[in-house]
Amino acid sequence: MNAELLATARAWLRQDPDSETRDELAGVITRAASGDAAAVADLSDRFAGRLAFGTAGLRGALGAGSNRMNRVLVAQAAAGFAAYLKGRSAGAPTVVIGYDGRRNSRRFALDSAELFAGAGLRAILLPRLLPTPVLAFAVRHLGADAGVMVTASHNPPNDNGYKVYLGGDDHGSQIVSPADAEIAAEIQRVADAGDVTVLPRSGAYEIAGEDLVEAYVAATAALAPAPLGVQEMRWVYTAMHGVGWETFSRVVKKAGYPAPRVVDEQREPDPTFRTVSFPNPEEPGAMDLAFERARAADAEFVIANDPDADRLAVAIPDAASEGGWRRLTGNEVGLLLGLRAAKAAQGTSGASLACSLVSSPGLGAIAEAYGLDFHETLTGFKWISRAPGMVFGFEEALGYLVNPETVRDKDGISAAVALLGLAADARVRGTTIAGLLDELGEQVGRFASGQVSIRVDDLSVITGLMASLRRTPPTAFGQRAVASAEDLATGASGMPAGDVLRYRLADGSRVIVRPSGTEPKLKVYIDARADDADAARTAVAELEAAVRALLEERS
């Protein structure tokens, strides 16, 4: 047994204020000290490092140890973030704290509020569990210096996270470099001091009023008020066991849309996510109950939020799909919403559309057609939200920023309202969401996209694959030759450096490879364009098969 590891674990145990994680860690220490090999390995994993604080804040599995999400780690993060904010402000900074319905979310939020207040900050806690977009809205609405949202979004049930926003010149966007490194350094200083129990705490934090939530509801409902003639529109909604329903239902009512048929089993927050194996609308099976409800209601479309309601999924009837329903890709929804924004912004000087570099190039075609600027960014709304003149931004992972003057982050609720507006307008014209997709293709071309994801238990597998692709770049994917290859890690693309490989193929298709920033996955994004929709889809299917074969060969 490593004596240093044992000492580190015991020191952590002494400062842990949570009886559950104290008992958990004490048991592991006892078994490890007696020579239990599995316990030694467990202890090593818990203290092999610490959850890295990056541009997505913190995110990881709940449990005791520096490599898990727990009250010690959150206390260190809150105290470090407080020190960072005080160092960049002449007065007492204001920070807003929100939380979702996951395990320990409220406890982590309360710890943060007490520590912020104890450090001399003005701390404002949201009145109850609420969607992430409400917290992002609150940072701007209250003129706060910063915001913290306790959420793990669509991660597995045993995960939680700590997402950070900055106000002022950052306009309520997520943090980017160098702020992430500066905050991480302050957190490390707190951790090195070694005892979070001596950090000053105070109960003198404020609770935000209901007027804050009402302001978000009003601003979001005003985005796309219901047109006349939609009273009979039939649609289904699921909150995916998250916190979206209570807020979204109020927005729908205020905007004048008919109430949806709700997936009752998934309506209320449930940290166990009992009806889904993985609480992400992108995952197979996650929307099965919604499809069942839609078939029973003869619905026209389905809308789903992820657990913290910052993402939106849309599905439509499709006789060719299993079960008669097809979930639209994030690119399809993004292009529909992008076209909506382009029409509204046409003629506005400096207005732009923006998307992550792995999202559909179709958004660029829309921007060109309407005389708008277009920006490609690294993945993540921390970058998309900062695009100059941005009136709409999206990423293919079901994230859409449709209301940048109020929420400078992806917002699944405001995106849902915008989608309802499109569906209602289409209905009045005698068409459907599928019809809108056809109209889009006729206007700017047929774009198709696909994705290959490899989930791993060992992150070194991803590191090895990226190293192999850099060492020996592929010259072709199947029968399609590579025309050019870019390694964005060099920063030569004009963007900030990122762990991304981009291949442009001779036939105009595109393949992009990158590790996920929030999950243990390697993700490959494929895009093709053709005059015919079937040809574009065929190209994507063939490229997906070629990518899988290449990665299997390199593994």
Per-residue pLDDT of the chain (555 residues; tens, 9 = 90+): 689 999 999 999 999 999 999 999 999 999 999 999 999 999 999 999 999 887 678 999 999 999 999 999 999 999 999 999 999 988 899 999 999 999 999 999 999 999 999 999 999 999 999 999 999 999 999 999 999 999 999 999 999 999 999 999 999 999 998 999 999 999 999 999 989 999 999 999 999 999 999 999 999 999 999 997 777 899 999 999 999 999 999 999 999 999 999 999 999 999 999 999 999 999 999 999 999 999 999 999 999 999 999 999 999 999 999 999 999 999 999 999 999 999 999 999 999 999 999 999 999 999 999 999 999 998 899 999 999 999 999 999 999 999 999 999 999 999 999 999 999 999 999 999 999 999 999 999 999 999 999 999 888 999 999 999 999 999 999 999 999 999 999 876 667 888 999 999 999 999 999 998 777 899 999 999 988 889 999 999 999 999 999 999 988
Backbone dihedral angles phi then psi of residue 107, each to the nearest 5 degrees: -60, -45
- Reading the block at residue 51, the tokens are 């959850």
How far apart (Å, rounded) are the C-alpha atoms in residues 428 and 430?
5
* Structure-token pair, residue 456: 């791993």
d(CA 176, CA 517): 13
Residues of the chain with CATH 3.40.120.10: 54-208, 230-444
* CB-based contact 327:286 (threshold 8 Å): no
Instruction: Name the phi and psi angles at 37, rounded to 5.
Output: -65, -40
Hey, what amino acid is at 53?
A: F
- Per-residue model confidence (pLDDT) at position 90: 84
CA distance 524 to 249: 36
- List the structure tokens of 176: 């980017």
Tokens of 265: 């089993």
Contact indicator for 164, 183 with CB cutoff of 8 Å: yes
Class of domain 446-554: alpha beta
Two tokens, residue 48 = 């092999």
Q: Is the peptide bond before 178 cis (omega within 30 degrees of 0)?
A: yes
Ramachandran area for residue 491 (φ above 0: left; ψ -120 to 50: alpha; else beta): left
- For the annotated catalytic residues, the residue numbers are 153
**Residue that the structure tokens 């003629």 belong to:** 347
The per-residue pLDDT for 493 is 65
Q: Is 543 exposed, middle or buried (0-12, 13-18, 19+ CB in 10 A)?
A: buried
Q: Are 239 and 245 in contact (CB under 8 A)?
A: yes
Alpha-carbon dihedral of residues 372, 369, 437, 390, nearest 10 degrees? -10
Element at 523 (helix H, strand E): strand 521-530
Residues 89, 143: Cα–Cα separation, whole Å? 14
CA-based nearest residue to 108, from 18, 27, 215? 18
Q: Which residues pair with 453 in a beta bridge?
A: 523
DSSP 8-state code for residue 329: P
Amino acid at 356: S
Mapped onto helix, strand or coil, the DSSP state of residue 373 is strand
Q: Looking at the chain, which residues constitute the CATH 3.30.310.50 domain(s)?
A: 446-554
Rounded to 5°, the CA angle 7-114-153 comes to 80
Q: Helices (H) and strands (E) in the chain — how many of each? A: 17, 22
**Nearest CA to 369 among 392, 397, 338?**
338
Taken as a whole, the chain contains a residue count of 555
Would you state the pLDDT for residue 1?
Answer: 62
Tokens 């949570």, residue located: 18
Query: Among candidates 53, 43, 51, which has minimal Cα distance to 13?
Result: 43
Rounded-to-integer distance, Cα 1 and Cα 334, Å: 53
Q: Say which residue the tokens 């804040």 belong to.
A: 57
d(CA 24, CA 35): 17
Class of domain 230-444: alpha beta
- Two tokens, residue 211: 């007027």
For 54-208, give the CATH class.
alpha beta
Helix, strand, coil percentages (3-state) for the chain, rounded to 5, are: 40, 20, 35
What was the pLDDT predicted at 54?
A: 77
Whether 304 and 312 have beta carbons less than 8 Å apart is answered as yes
Alpha helices in 142-270 (DSSP H): 179-193, 210-221, 244-255
